[in-house]
């Protein structure tokens, strides 16, 4: 009997160890995985949302990068092996993912009200989110140019992007139909409010491709958001379509001689959604709640020129954290920038995206 005593002590210690280990494992399970686009935008997300969220809740957040698209989310949901919790999505992607049952619903009622008590349902910009998205940001696909290349008469209108005679040189363009078809029609004289109605007809689509044909030989295509500023800096192109935030960051952080043409830009929204079936649903909802607060959305604008999708947050937009520049004039939502802005019709793209992509691929290969 006396010989057994130390043994049982040892055994109880072993159980204690196992218990601690299990606790640790459970705590590790509380790490939230947030997937976003990386680059300068990813850093903004980290500083404006992730760090304050961790400070407030003590919940660990791990960030991952991706290039958009729904393939990985679909694969995770279909195999029942969900390891992404919250994913930053463009609104068209979010709408599709929500329709296809890849995301959890996010109820407006669950999102925080504005400081003055305005409920979220009235505070959000119309059509700025899917039924599965948290609060989000407005960005714009714009045309930017390197103004050193045009010392005398710089381009000033969207039409100039398609004018090779007055503004010779190569053009950068994202290798997708979205934005490019709209730009082509706008430059061809279609009024802002008739763009999608025109695209709804075969003749309208043909008209857009015909306009793209006029600059086809001068186009250099890009895929990742970080490419266009690089292409401008390398003088690989003289003008390019780009996300306004990326160009802004190159302007203020790297002093690049870039100018944005605020004319006919395509305004899009994005916001994070929760992958359906995540075992960390509760902390994922807490994160969505946190980042949907007006002050959280406004905080992003300290780092990059994307404006919040909430009225109350827009009022809080301040200055750039690093350079002190006032951010309002650089926002896609700034009145001066909005004179001729086209709001992306994500519903049209959800219905016609596949077909347009196919026709775009055909056009590319010709």
Q: Which of 333, 337, 363 is nearest to 181 (CA)?
A: 363
**Which of 102/327 has CB closer to other proteins?**
102
Go through the chain and tell me how many residues it has. Answer: 366
**Which of 98/106 has CB closer to other proteins?**
98
**Which of 125/350 has CB closer to other proteins?**
350
**Which of 84/248 has CB closer to other proteins?**
84
CB of 329 to other proteins, least distance (A): 31
Bridge partners of 20, per DSSP, are none
Integer angstrom CA distances of residue 171 from 215, 228, 231, 329: 8, 10, 10, 26
- How many C-beta neighbours within 10 Å does residue 81 have? 9
CB of 118 to other proteins, least distance (A): 27
**Which of 120/215 has CB closer to other proteins?**
215
The rounded distance, in Å, linking the Cα atoms of 232 and 144 is 9
The rounded distance, in Å, linking the Cα atoms of 111 and 134 is 8
**Helix segments in the chain, DSSP class H:** 4-28, 39-45, 51-57, 71-79, 91-99, 120-123, 158-161, 180-187, 195-199, 202-213, 227-233, 244-254, 281-291, 294-300, 311-314, 346-365
CB of 223 to other proteins, least distance (A): 7
CB of 168 to other proteins, least distance (A): 9
The rounded distance, in Å, linking the Cα atoms of 137 and 128 is 8
**Which of 193/234 has CB closer to other proteins?**
234
The rounded distance, in Å, linking the Cα atoms of 275 and 286 is 14
CB of 106 to other proteins, least distance (A): 14
**Which of 13/175 has CB closer to other proteins?**
175
CB of 202 to other proteins, least distance (A): 9
CB of 49 to other proteins, least distance (A): 26
The rounded distance, in Å, linking the Cα atoms of 279 and 290 is 19
H/E run at residue 82 = none
Q: Which residues bind other proteins (CB under 8 A)?
A: 69-71, 74, 96, 98-101, 170, 175, 206, 216, 219-221, 223, 234-236, 347, 350-355, 357-359, 361-362, 364-365
Token pair in block for residue 360: 């775009």
**Which of 236/289 has CB closer to other proteins?**
236
**Which of 99/110 has CB closer to other proteins?**
99
CB of 98 to other proteins, least distance (A): 7
CB of 100 to other proteins, least distance (A): 4
Q: Using an 8 Å Cβ cutoff, are 259 and 330 in contact?
A: no
Cα torsion through 64, 46, 49, 142, rounded to 10: -90
């Amino acid at each position: 009997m006396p010989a057994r005593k130390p043994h049982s002590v040892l055994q109880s210690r072993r159980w204690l160890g196992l218990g601690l280990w299990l606790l640790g494992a459970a705590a590790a399970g509380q790490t939230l995985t947030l997937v976003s686009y990386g680059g300068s935008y990813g850093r903004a997300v980290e500083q404006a949302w992730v760090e304050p969220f961790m400070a407030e809740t003590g919940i660990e957040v791990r960030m991952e990068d991706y290039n958009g698209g729904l393939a990985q989310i679909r694969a995770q949901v279909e195999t029942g092996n969900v390891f992404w919790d919250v994913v930053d999505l463009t609104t068209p992607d979010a709408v599709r993912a929500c329709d296809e049952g890849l995301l959890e619903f996010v109820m407006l009622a669950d999102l925080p009200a504005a400081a003055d008590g305005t409920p979220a349902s009235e505070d959000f910009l119309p059509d700025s989110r899917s039924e599965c998205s948290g609060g989000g940001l407005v960005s714009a696909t714009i045309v930017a140019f390197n103004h050193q290349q045009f010392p005398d008469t710089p381009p000033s209108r969207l039409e100039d992007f398609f004018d090779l005679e007055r503004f010779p040189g190569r053009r950068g363009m994202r290798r997708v139909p979205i934005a490019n078809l709209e730009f082509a029609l706008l430059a061809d004289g279609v009024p802002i409010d008739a763009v999608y109605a025109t695209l709804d007809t075969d003749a309208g689509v043909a008209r857009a491709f015909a306009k793209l044909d006029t600059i086809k030989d001068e186009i250099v295509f890009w895929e990742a958001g970080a490419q266009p500023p690089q292409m401008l800096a390398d003088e690989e192109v003289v003008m390019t379509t780009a996300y306004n935030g990326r160009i802004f960051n190159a302007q203020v952080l790297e002093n690049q001689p870039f100018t944005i043409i605020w004319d006919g830009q395509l305004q899009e929204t994005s916001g994070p959604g929760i992958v359906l079936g995540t075992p960390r649903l509760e902390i994922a909802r807490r994160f969505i709640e946190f980042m949907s607060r007006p002050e959280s959305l406004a905080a992003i604008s300290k780092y990059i020129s994307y404006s919040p999708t909430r009225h109350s947050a827009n009022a809080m937009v301040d200055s750039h954290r690093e350079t002190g520049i006032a951010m309002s004039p650089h926002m896609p939502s700034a009145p001066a920038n909005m004179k001729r802005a086209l709001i992306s019709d994500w519903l049209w793209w959800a219905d016609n995206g596949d077909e347009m992509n196919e026709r775009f691929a055909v056009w590319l290969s010709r």
